[in-house]
Amino acid sequence: MEIEEGNTSNTHRISKRTILFGVIPFIVIGAMVVLLLNSSGVLFQSSIKPLPEISIEKVQFSENNMITAFVRNTGPSEISIAQADVNDRIYPAAVEPGRTLTRLADAKVIIPFVWNTGEPYTIGITTDDGTRFDKLVNSAAAAPRPTVGQASTFALIGTYVGIIPVMMGLVWYPFIRRLSPNKYNFFLSLTAGLLVFLGIDALLESNEIAVDNLAPAFNAQILIIMVAIVTLITLLYVSQRLIQRASKRSKPDIEYKTEYSSHPEPDLGTRDMKSTSTSFQQQLLIRPIAISMMISIGIGLHNFGEGLAIGAAVLLGEVALSSFLILGFTLHNTTEGLAIVAPMAKSRRIPVAKLIIMGLIAGGPTIMGAWIGGFLYSPIATVIFLSIGAGAIFQVVYSIGSWMYHTNGSRGLLSNHWIIIGFALGMLIMYLTGLLV
């Protein structure tokens, strides 16, 4: 125990009595736990057997005349699976690893069945107390198998949807560099608009998956908010540290555009830096790149979630992958590259290699997401990754917002009509390109 200087010692010394008060709650709660678990229901006896619950998380159709349902016991107690059916007609099936499922355990129910491509099927699972749970698949399609060919197809889709559009967005870098301050603000707020749209989209998307595919036992909706908030505050912390460290180490001989020097810098990241005008000037130069890097990471996380969704959609037969769909995603994602370069427009020249690295960080995860989503879809993982993506995106929006606030100084953000128009237009662009998907 550290004792701060200047404080009286007895406020921080722990007496035996204090220890006792610290321990009593644990003893009482421990005793309650022991009592409740060992009284075998004497205290709070219930004659009502808890209702069983099963979630059919995924249904997979295989080309060798087989339907596989991935089920999880999301009820309060152990259950046993008694029967499987297809379209409410009983069929022989196997359940692996076994028919008895402890709470939250999962199993695979394999039903040999000659299914037809494109037709809807309802898969039903009946538990030992006769309760039937079912899941409708709107259009049966053969699950992609993890072959080299299929993996390359997903990689190609990921390249089209993630890497190419982000890179194309980056190509606008020289163009953005030559913009006047107002137009620059316009593009920055456009970026913020795009990202806010993406963030809300990710939250809605994960909510939809949570409602459709996850049992209430997972509390998935609160999980979404939780993960998004934790991601947001963690990334805020990380980016502040990143900026601080970079500021300390950077050399002071960098070229600097004087137009921003007159504004004060009240940023949290500089609080304990003994702010001098030199370090502040460095800060202004370093921050855009750091912001861009954070945007790349945030978009990377988002695209990972998007890749999962694309792969899963193919796997679940919800989407027939068409060139049109891929084109839609490509247009939609081109704006993401723009988001990355916009904050760097007024800093010194960025080497092409760095831009490419940022592009890969932002776009590359789409491929990995498509692989995982396509071959090993799990709704809970998809929800978590989409929420992380949303949190990451809101962190980026915050960074852009605070950057614009400082560079605009006393004028304030909402008094500049270029910023308002840019923000609105950013969301509109996403909405319109989103219609294509």
The smaller minimum CB distance to another protein, of residues 87 and 153, is found at 87
x/- letters, 48..87, toward another protein (CB under 8 A):
----------------xxx-------------xxxxxx--
Cβ partners under 8 Å of residue 239, min gap 6: 290, 291, 294, 395, 399
The residue (of 301 and 397) whose beta carbon lies closer to another protein is 301
* Smallest gap from residue 142 Cβ to another protein (A): 15
Draw the binding track, 345-384, toward another protein (x: CB under 8 A; -: no contact): ---------x--x---x---x--x---x---x-x-xx--x
Residue 106 lies near another protein (rule: CB under 8 A): yes
Interface with another protein includes 242 (CB under 8 A)? yes
Q: Which secondary-structure segment (H or E) carries 428?
A: helix 417-434
Kindly list the distances between the CA atom of residue 298 and the CA atoms of 359, 380, 382, in Å, as whole numbers in the listed order. Answer: 12, 20, 16
Residue selected from 17, 178, 249, 274 as contacting another protein according to rule CB under 8 A: 249
Q: Cβ 95 to another protein, closest distance in Å? A: 5
Q: Evaluate whether 387 touches 223 at the Cβ level (below 8 Å).
A: yes
Instruction: Kindly tell me which residue out of 203, 342, 386, 388 binds another protein, with binding defined by CB under 8 A.
Output: 388
Site for another protein in 174-193 (CB under 8 A): none
Given candidates 115, 260, 385, 394, which one binds another protein under the rule CB under 8 A? Answer: 385
- Interaction between residue 113 and another protein (CB under 8 A): yes
CB 194 within 8 A of CB 427: yes
Q: Which of residues 280-309 bind another protein (CB under 8 A)?
A: 286, 289-290, 293-294, 296-297, 300-301, 304
Pairwise CA distance, residues 162 & 399, whole Å: 23
Q: Residue 277, Cβ neighbours under 10 Å: how many? A: 9
Minimum Å distance from CB 357 to another protein? 6
First to last CA, the chain: 58
Q: Position of tokens 């046993």? A: 80
Total number of residues binding another protein (CB under 8 A)? 68
Q: Is 360 helix (H, G, I), strand (E, B) or coil?
A: helix
The DSSP-derived string for 188-223 is HHHHHHHHHHHHHHHHHHHHHHHHHHS-GGG-HHHH
Can you tell me the distance from the alpha carbon of 147 to that of 139, in angstroms, rounded to the nearest whole number? Answer: 23
Q: Are the CB atoms for 7 and 13 separated by under 8 Å? A: no
Q: Is 223 in the site for another protein (CB under 8 A)?
A: no
The residues in 118-157 that bind another protein, with binding defined as CB under 8 A, are 126, 128-132
Between the alpha carbon of residue 7 and those of residues 3, 11, 17, 18, the distances in Å are 8, 8, 21, 18
H/E stretch holding 125 reads strand 121-127
What would you measure as the largest C-alpha separation in the chain, in angstroms?
80
Omega within 30 of 0 (cis) for the link into 97? yes
Q: Are strands 66-73 and 79-86 parallel, antiparallel or unpaired?
A: unpaired
Residue 107 is a binding residue for another protein (CB under 8 A)? yes
Binding characters for another protein, 406-435, by CB under 8 A (x = yes): ------------------------------
Nearer to another protein, 165 or 373 (CB): 373
Residue from the set 109, 228, 232, 340 that interacts with another protein by CB under 8 A? 109
Among positions 22, 50, 112, 146, the unique one binding another protein when judged by CB under 8 A: 112
CB of 345 to another protein, least distance (A): 17
Strand, helix or coil at 111? strand
Residues at the interface with another protein (CB under 8 A): 64-66, 80-85, 88-90, 92-102, 105-110, 112-114, 126, 128-132, 238, 242-243, 245-246, 249-250, 286, 289-290, 293-294, 296-297, 300-301, 304, 354, 357, 361, 365, 368, 372, 376, 378, 380-381, 384-385, 388
